[in-house]
A and B are shown apart, each in its own frame.
Chain A
Amino acid sequence: MSVATTVVSRRTALKSTLQSAGATLVIHFSGRPAKAAGEKPDANPLTSWIKIDSNGTITLSYSKSEMGQGITTSLPMILADELGADWKDVRVEHAPLEKAFGQQGTGGSGSITGLFTPLRQAGAAARTMLIAAAAERWNVSPADCKARESAVWHGSDKLSFAALVDAAAKMPVPDLATVALKPPEEFELIGKSLPRNDIPAKTDGSAIFGLDVRVPNMVFAVVARCPVFGGKVKSFDDKQARAMKGVLDVFEIDAAQEAHSCGGVVVVAETTYIAMQARNKLKIEWNEGPGAAESSETLRKEFRRIVDSSMKVVINQGDADAAMAQTPSDKKVACDYELPFQAHAAMEPLNCTVHIQNGRAEVWAAHQAADMVQEVVSKVAGLSPDKVKVHTPFMGGAFGRRYQADFPTEATQIAKRVNRPVQLVWSREDDMTHDFYRPASYHRMNGAVDAQGNITAWHHKYTSTPISEWFDPKAAPESSELGLCSQLPYLTKSYKLEYTPAKSHVPRAWWRSVEASVIGFVLESYIDELAHAAGADPYEFRMRMLGEDRLVKDLLDDKERPLDAGRLKGVLRLAAEKGNWGKPMGEGQGRGIACHYSFHSYVANLAEVTVKGGALKVDRIVSAVDIGVPVHPDGIRAQVESAIVYGLTAALKSEITVQNGRAVQSNFNKFTTLSMKETPLIEVHIVQSAKPPTGIGEPGLPPTAPALANAIFAATGKRVRRLPVQPGDLA
C-alpha cells in the first residue's frame, strides 16, 4: 500500500470555490484497505476523499452518480462520521475521474456495500493525522484526544481542524488496514436520517439534469433509428428536413457494435423542437432485417416449445423425476409462470452533451458510470482518456438503463461532425422503443409435497431471452438469469433446474434488480402454491421450509456470498408481525407474503389487497429489511418505497410487447405506471443490525409482485401466473 500526503495551494485545489489563500490538507490514498474474503484484489482502491481548508470548510468527495438514491449524502456521511466532522462544515463534490477513486460505476445496489469500510478507513486516517497534530501542539498523548465537531479535543481544550490542517498534512499517514475505526456505538452521523443535500435544488427547478445542460453556442440533435430491433438505414431523403428553418445538418451515423447502438439518421438543429420536427420530415427506407418477423406471440410459442422439449440440466440434486412419479396427484403442483419485457422508462429521456474542439472533448452525461463515459467518448472520438473531461449532472432516474454506452457513443459520433457543443436528445418514444429491456421469460414448475408437508420435488424448467447473449456471449447463457435458482433457500428432497435460452432480437440488459425481479416472482409464488398443496399456512410453511439457521451456498458459484437463512426468516417474521399476519380480514380482502435475498440484502414484503367486482385495490405493503448497519434509515425507507412502486407498476400496469419486430408501447399512454391513487400505504421496518451494510436500491423489488399475487390468491382463490395482471384476470 502506498500512501502520500501532499499540501497543495488552495488556489489549485479549490480554485472553483473562490476561497481565500491558505493550505489545504489533501489526503491521497492509493492501494486498497482490507478486503472482504473472496473479493478480487484492487477492486476498490481509494484516493483523496477529504480536503480540509484553513477556513474550516471540509470538502468530501463521492465517487458514485446520483440517480435519486441519495448517494451524495450517504457516502459523505460515512467519511464525515469517522473524521469527526461537523456536518454543517461539510460540502460535497463529485470525485474526479482518477483511478485511485476506484470504479465509479453506480449500480448493483453496491455503493454502500463496497465503500462503507474504505470510506471509514479514509476518514479514520485523516482523523488520526489531525489528532497527531493537535497532540504534538499540546504535548499530550494522542490517545487522550478526540475528534468531534470539526475539532480535536483534549479535555476542554480544543483546536479546530482548520487550525490543524497544515501540521496534520505533515503527519505520517496511518496504515489503512489497521487504522483504528470508531466503535459503532460512537457513530454520530451513520444511522441518522440527515436531510439530503440534493433535495432543495429539486424543489425550485435549479437542479441540473442531463437535459438541462446549457453550453454557449450549443445545438441539439435527434436520431431517427430503425423501429425494428436490429434494423439499419437503407437510404434516406433529407430534402424537406434540410429545408426547415433552424436545421443545421443531416447525416447518417453507423451502428456501433460494442455499444449496441442502432445507428440512424441524425438531424442537428438550433432547438430540440426543430430537430424533432425535421426528423418527422425525413424519408427513410429501412433494411429491417430478420428481427421484423418477431412478435410477443412468436416468442411465447418458442418459450412453450422449449419447455415442452428436453432442456439443458443445470442443477440436479436428488431424484426429482422419481419423487414426482411417487407422489399422488393432489400433492403435486404443476404450473407455468410468464414475465414480459419491461422498459426502464426513467422520467428523463436519455441524452448526452458533447463538445469536441482542439483535440479535447468535454462531456455532460447523466450516466451511471462516469469512468465508462470517458472510455467510450475517448474511443469514439479517437482521443486519449485524459483529453476527455466528463461531467455527471443529476440523472432523472436510471434503473440500470443509464449504464449503457449507446447514447454517449451516438453523441460523440455526432459531436465529431458538428463543430459546436451538441446535445443529443432521445424523445420519449426513442427511449421506450430502443431500450435494453428486462428479459422476457417462461417457467414451467413441477413439484410435490409429502403427507408430512415437506417438499419432495422442485423441478424448474426455465427459458428466457438472456442478458448474457448481449453482454457476455461467451458465458453460459443461463449465467445472467438464475439468481436464487442456484441458491434456493427452501428445503427440498430433490431439486432439478433446467435452462435453455430463447432467441430474440429484442435488446435486453439490467433492469432494476435484474434477474431477481423475475426469480423473486417465480420462487415466491411457487412456494405459496406448494404451501397450499400441503394444506399449510404460507407464512408458517416458508418458515419451516427455510429450515435451521444456516448459510446456504450458491450451487454454481462458490465465490458468491452465502445466504443466511436466519436473516431471511428474520425479515419474514418481522413483516408477518407488523402486517398482522393471520388476523381475520373482510370480504374480498387478502394478505400475501414473500421474501427474497438479492444484492446481499434480505427483504420480506407483505401485501394487503381488496378485490371487489374484479377490481383490485392494493391497500398496504408492509416491508421488512435487513441490510446490516442502516446508514441512512430514511434513505433506506425511500428506496424500498421506490422499489415497491416500481415493482407494482411492473406487476399491475406496464409491459413491452413486440409486433413486427418493434416495441408496441412507445409512450406513457400505453406504458402505464402506478398513479398516486393506486399507490398503497407503504410501511418499511428496518432490522437493527451491526453487520456490514449492504445495498437497498433494488432488493425491495423482487418480493413485491409475489406478495401481491399471493394476496390476490388469498382474497379470490385466483392465482396470478402471468404478469402484468390483466383486468380480466380477477373477474
Chain B
Amino acid sequence: MAISFELNGQPKAVDVDPKTPLLWVLRDTLNLTGTKYGCGIASCGACTVHIDGEPVRACVFPVSAVAGKKITTIEGLSADQSHPVQKAWVAEQVPQCGYCQSGQIMAAVAFLKKNTAPSPAEVDEAMSGNICRCGTQQRMRSAVLKAAQTMHLAQTAVEVGGEL
C-alpha cells in the first residue's frame, strides 16, 4: 500500500516495504540523493532531514512513520542556496569533501530554530552528534554562529516592521 507524505512542499506517495528506512526511499526510490548514507545506525548524522521541522536520522527512520508528515531535505531548504545557514557555509568556506555537509546543515538549521542566539559552547553541544572526517568542525562552528547572527538580525527587522 502506498505511503503518502509531503516532501519539500510536494505531495509524494511511494509503494515500498514500510520498514524501509526513509533514507533509501529518498535516495533510491525518489532519486533525491542530497541526503547521505554514512553509517546506517544513526551514529554519524549524514542522513539528517527534518520531519515536521524536527531533525531526524533518516537511515533508521522507517518510511511508514512519515505517512502524512512533512519532510524537508537539503534540497528543500531553499530554492537558490539562500538560506542563511547555506550562505554562512559558503562565506566560511566550510565544506571540504562535502559528504557530511547536508546532514550538518540540516542539523544546524534545526538547532537555530530552537536557539536563536546560541553561545559557542551551545553550538558545540548541538553539533557534536554529526561526524565530519575532513575536520571542518571549527569552520562549522563559525558558520553556525554567523548564521545565527544573520537570522537574529532578520528576525529583529521583522519584529520592528522593517525590512532587510
Chain A residues, CB < 8 A from B27: 211-212, 272
CA distance A347 to B104 in the complex (A): 12
B interface residues (Cβ-Cβ under 8 A, vs A): 16-17, 20-21, 24, 27-29, 31-41, 43-44, 46, 73-75, 77-78, 81, 86, 89-90, 93-102, 105, 121, 123-125, 127-141
Chain B residues, CB < 8 A from A231: none
Chain B residues, CB < 8 A from A206: 34, 75
Docked-complex contact A396 and B97, CB < 8 angstroms: yes
Docked-complex contact A347 and B128, CB < 8 angstroms: no
Docked-complex contact B24 and A273, CB < 8 angstroms: yes
CA distance A204 to B75 in the complex (A): 6
Docked-complex contact A677 and B101, CB < 8 angstroms: no
B-facing residues in A619-667 (Cβ within 8 Å): 634, 638, 641-646, 649, 667
CA distance A245 to B77 in the complex (A): 34
Docked-complex contact A673 and B131, CB < 8 angstroms: yes
Docked-complex contact B123 and A397, CB < 8 angstroms: no
Docked-complex contact A428 and B90, CB < 8 angstroms: no
Docked-complex contact B93 and A347, CB < 8 angstroms: no
Docked-complex contact B98 and A207, CB < 8 angstroms: yes
Docked-complex contact B31 and A68, CB < 8 angstroms: no
CA distance A425 to B75 in the complex (A): 23
CA distance A425 to B27 in the complex (A): 13
Docked-complex contact B101 and A645, CB < 8 angstroms: no
Docked-complex contact A667 and B127, CB < 8 angstroms: no
Docked-complex contact A641 and B98, CB < 8 angstroms: no
Chain A residues, CB < 8 A from B74: 204-205
- Give the shortest distance, in Å, between A178 (CB) and chain B (any CB): 38
Please, which residue of chain A has its CB at the minimum distance from the CB of B77? A204
- Give the shortest distance, in Å, between A701 (CB) and chain B (any CB): 10
CA distance A676 to B27 in the complex (A): 27
Q: CB < 8 Å: which of B20, B29, B95, B132 contacts A203?
A: B95
Chain B residues, CB < 8 A from A676: 123-124, 127-128, 130, 137, 140-141
Chain A residues, CB < 8 A from B137: 645, 674-676, 679
Docked-complex contact B133 and A200, CB < 8 angstroms: no
Which of the 9-residue segments A191-199, A255-263, A453-461, A599-607 touches chain B? A191-199
Please, which residue of chain A has its CB at the minimum distance from the CB of B82? A204
CA distance A212 to B27 in the complex (A): 8
- Give the shortest distance, in Å, between B154 (CB) and chain A (any CB): 18
Chain B residues, CB < 8 A from A678: 128
- Give the shortest distance, in Å, between B116 (CB) and chain A (any CB): 19
- Give the shortest distance, in Å, between B147 (CB) and chain A (any CB): 11
Docked-complex contact B135 and A646, CB < 8 angstroms: yes
Chain A residues, CB < 8 A from B75: 204-206
Docked-complex contact B97 and A67, CB < 8 angstroms: yes
Docked-complex contact B77 and A200, CB < 8 angstroms: no
Q: CB < 8 Å: which of A203, A634, A673 contacts B86?
A: A203
User: Is A669 engaged at the interface, CB distance under 8 Å to the other chain?
Assistant: yes
Docked-complex contact B28 and A347, CB < 8 angstroms: no
Docked-complex contact A394 and B41, CB < 8 angstroms: no
Contact residues of A: prevailing secondary structure = loop
Docked-complex contact A397 and B73, CB < 8 angstroms: no
- Known contacts A273-B28, A397-B134, A676-B127; decide if A202 and B95 are in contact (CB<8 Å): yes
Chain B residues, CB < 8 A from A145: none
CA distance A477 to B28 in the complex (A): 45
Docked-complex contact B127 and A646, CB < 8 angstroms: no
Chain A residues, CB < 8 A from B129: 675
CA distance A636 to B77 in the complex (A): 30
CA distance A669 to B40 in the complex (A): 11
A-B contact pairs, 28 of them (CB 8 A): A67-B97, A69-B96, A195-B90, A195-B93, A199-B98, A200-B90, A201-B98, A203-B101, A203-B105, A204-B34, A205-B75, A208-B33, A245-B17, A270-B28, A271-B29, A347-B97, A347-B132, A349-B37, A394-B97, A394-B99, A399-B133, A428-B41, A642-B135, A646-B134, A649-B133, A674-B137, A675-B137, A676-B141
Chain A residues, CB < 8 A from B20: 271, 273
10 shortest interchain CB distances as A-B pairs: A205-B34, A645-B135, A396-B99, A202-B98, A68-B97, A68-B96, A205-B74, A212-B33, A677-B124, A675-B128
CA distance A674 to B137 in the complex (A): 9
User: Is A209 engaged at the interface, CB distance under 8 Å to the other chain?
Assistant: yes
Docked-complex contact A643 and B135, CB < 8 angstroms: yes
Chain B residues, CB < 8 A from A349: 37-38
User: Is A471 engaged at the interface, CB distance under 8 Å to the other chain?
Assistant: no
Docked-complex contact B131 and A428, CB < 8 angstroms: no
Task: Count chain B CB atoms within 10 A of each CB in A67, A212, A397, A676 and give the residue with the most.
Answer: A676
- Give the shortest distance, in Å, between A205 (CB) and chain B (any CB): 2
CA distance A644 to B105 in the complex (A): 23
Docked-complex contact B28 and A271, CB < 8 angstroms: yes
- Give the shortest distance, in Å, between A140 (CB) and chain B (any CB): 42
Q: CB < 8 Å: which of B21, B35, B40, B98 contacts A396?
A: B98
Q: Give A419-434 as 1s and 0s: 1 = Cβ < 8 Å from B's Cβ atoms.
A: 0000001011100000
- Give the shortest distance, in Å, between B78 (CB) and chain A (any CB): 7
Chain A residues, CB < 8 A from B124: 675-677
Chain B residues, CB < 8 A from A399: 133
CA distance A676 to B137 in the complex (A): 5
User: Is A541 engaged at the interface, CB distance under 8 Å to the other chain?
Assistant: no
- Known contacts A220-B28, A677-B125, A681-B138; decide if A668 and B34 are in contact (CB<8 Å): no
Q: Given A205-B35, A271-B24, A676-B124, list of 14 further CB < 8 A pairs? A: A203-B86, A203-B95, A204-B81, A205-B34, A205-B75, A205-B102, A209-B33, A209-B98, A272-B27, A273-B17, A397-B99, A427-B40, A641-B136, A678-B128
- Known contacts A642-B136, A676-B140, A679-B138; decide if A347 and B86 are in contact (CB<8 Å): no
CA distance A659 to B99 in the complex (A): 31
Docked-complex contact B41 and A642, CB < 8 angstroms: no
Docked-complex contact B95 and A68, CB < 8 angstroms: yes
Chain B residues, CB < 8 A from A346: 97, 99, 133
Docked-complex contact A204 and B37, CB < 8 angstroms: no
Chain A residues, CB < 8 A from B131: 347, 668, 673, 675
Chain A residues, CB < 8 A from B139: 638, 641
- Give the shortest distance, in Å, between B151 (CB) and chain A (any CB): 16
- Give the shortest distance, in Å, between B146 (CB) and chain A (any CB): 13
Docked-complex contact A273 and B98, CB < 8 angstroms: no
CA distance A272 to B21 in the complex (A): 11
Task: Count chain A CB atoms within 10 A of each CB in B32, B37, B134 and give the residue with the most.
Answer: B134
User: Is A450 engaged at the interface, CB distance under 8 Å to the other chain?
Assistant: no
CA distance A203 to B21 in the complex (A): 23
Chain B residues, CB < 8 A from A272: 24, 27-28, 37
CA distance A643 to B133 in the complex (A): 10
Please, which residue of chain B has its CB at the minimum distance from the CB of A675? B128
Chain B residues, CB < 8 A from A673: 131, 133
